[in-house]
Amino acid sequence: MCEIQYDELGPSKVIHLYSKKAQLRAIVVVDNTALGPAIGGVRVSPLVSTEEVLRLARTMTLKNSIAGIPHGGGKAGILVDPKGPEKERYFRIFAKQIKDLQEYIPGPDMGSDEEAMAWIYDEIGRACGLPEELGGLPLDKLGATGFGLSECAEVSCPYAGIDLKKARVAVQGFGSVGKAAAWFLSEKGAVLVAASDTKGTIHCADGIDIDKLIEIKQSTGSVINYGEGIRMETEDLFSRECDILIPAAIPDVINEENVYSIKAKLILQGANIPATRAAEEILMKRGILSVPDFIANAGGVIMAAMEYAKKTEKETFEAISSKIKKNTGLILEKAMQEKILPRAAAEELSKDKVLKAMRCREY
Ligand code: NAD
């Protein structure tokens, strides 16, 4: 059992759920609700730990706060195999168990999707990331997170000395986030020169046709079947000549081993924690600007909050654009003036907001 570290923000509740009859274990952490009921995803894996849920819940507190949405941070973990046959039953039992925990609003995460959110909603009447038929805004279909990354690029490019209209872009992980980011950036004039997935990297210095690459990835399962340019190993993506690099796959891929090979001037963090803290410090010393995940990829969580508030698709895209542009400017100004990491600037601003809200609340 992990030892819980309490600090000035939380966690406010750490709950371990157990159904003997269903042999189901789950963990819910409500980290902080000063800004409103906590929103955070439900991670489904036999390996989810209390420590992991605690860490992710805190990340949500900070992400929701700086995104300016009226929600605190929380997270849940259900300790079952997400591909198992009894998925619906487990979600329905979990939902019943959290019915009275009104300050937690579940959302999708690894191992849970919009169908799972529909089961939870059916049981308890609250969840975000719902199917369109239940009033949901389809996050990946609309490419909200990728759109947010392209808005973030507009503000951060001048700080890195890049002209976005001619920028060369490399995307690590050509999935929901990576594809949409490449597409929205190309609408602003940028050119995709490299993309990767688990099978390898494709590099075309003259530019990649994004619609064609999306179709190839969809039909063959990998970007390496693009048919033009040079095929390389997955890891080679990081050393390609480009202006903007977007890691959009898994954590810690930019680390002390490969950070010196990066040639980009600007990194927009599409994935969560794609760079280690040590790598972020080296990037700063090398003059490479790196906009942290909870600013750059906040499009997803802003969409979840807008969906929960029953806003339209148009209102949601306007909110993503204005919030991400404003926050990118704020944290980059602060980071430049105080000579600190953009991540440190973002953490400070978002924590400050939560602490101010806490002073107005009784508990
Ligand atoms: P996805 O599963 O749709 O796509 C991930 C892609 O990355 C796949 O193409 C996969 O082949 C590739 N990949 C995996 N490991 C790789 C590696 N080592 N090197 C290169 N490519 C690799 O996932 P997604 O929804 O696009 O999410 C990507 C990341 O962004 C995750 O870290 C997720 O937590 C984060 N994120 C997603 C959203 C969202 O809106 N979906 C919002 C915020 C953050």
Q: Is ligand 1 within 6 A of the CB of residue 201?
A: no
Which of 109, 179, 198 to probe ligand 1 with, by most ligand atoms within 8 A of CB? Answer: 198
The 3-class SS string of 31-95 reads: EECCCCCEEEEEEECCCCCHHHHHHHHHHHHHHHHHCCCCCEEEEEEECCCCCCCCHHHHHHHHH
Enumerate residue ranges in the chain where pLDDT < 50.
none
Q: Is ligand 1 within 6 A of the CB of residue 145?
A: yes
Question: Do residues 78 and 44 touch, judged by C-beta distance below 8 A?
Answer: yes
Which of 250, 258, 267, 273 to probe ligand 1 with, by most ligand atoms within 8 A of CB? Answer: 250
Task: Give residue 1's pLDDT.
Answer: 65
Residue-wise pLDDT tens digits, 202-245:
999 999 999 999 999 999 999 999 999 999 999 999 999 999 99
> Would residue 20 show up in a list of annotated catalytic residues for this protein?
no
Report how far ligand 1's centroid is from the alpha carbon of 227 (Å): 23
Residue-wise pLDDT tens digits, 80-130:
998 888 999 999 999 999 999 999 999 999 889 999 999 999 999 999 999
Q: Is ligand 1 within 6 A of the CB of residue 176?
A: yes
Q: Is ligand 1 within 6 A of the CB of residue 64?
A: no
Q: Would you give the distance in Å from CA 119 to the centre of its chain?
A: 23
Report how far ligand 1's centroid is from the alpha carbon of 326 (Å): 25
Which of 56, 110, 176, 218 to probe ligand 1 with, by most ligand atoms within 8 A of CB? Answer: 176
* Active-site choice (13, 20, 21, 75): 75
- 221, two tokens: 């399962």
Cα torsion 201, 205, 209, 214 to 10°: value is 10
Report how far ligand 1's centroid is from the alpha carbon of 15 (Å): 29
Report how far ligand 1's centroid is from the alpha carbon of 197 (Å): 9
Rounded Cα distance between 158 and 150, Å, is 14
**Of 26, 197, 38, 36, nearest in space to 116 by CA:** 26
Rounded Cα distance between 160 and 265, Å, is 6
SS3 244: strand
Rounded Cα distance between 273 and 251, Å, is 5
Alpha helix locations (H) across 86-196?
87-97, 114-124, 139-142, 144-159, 176-187
Task: Give residue 362's pLDDT.
Answer: 73
Q: Which pTM was predicted?
A: 0.93
191 φ/ψ angles, rounded to the nearest 5 degrees: -120, 130
Ligand 1, atom 28, residue with closest C-alpha: 249
Report how far ligand 1's centroid is from the alpha carbon of 139 (Å): 13
- 159, two tokens: 């700080």
Residue 289's beta-bridge partner residues? 266
- 273, two tokens: 């924690």
Contacts of 305 (CB under 8 A, 6+ apart): 39, 64, 67, 69, 70, 71, 128
Closest-lying ligand 1 atom to the alpha carbon of residue 274? 32
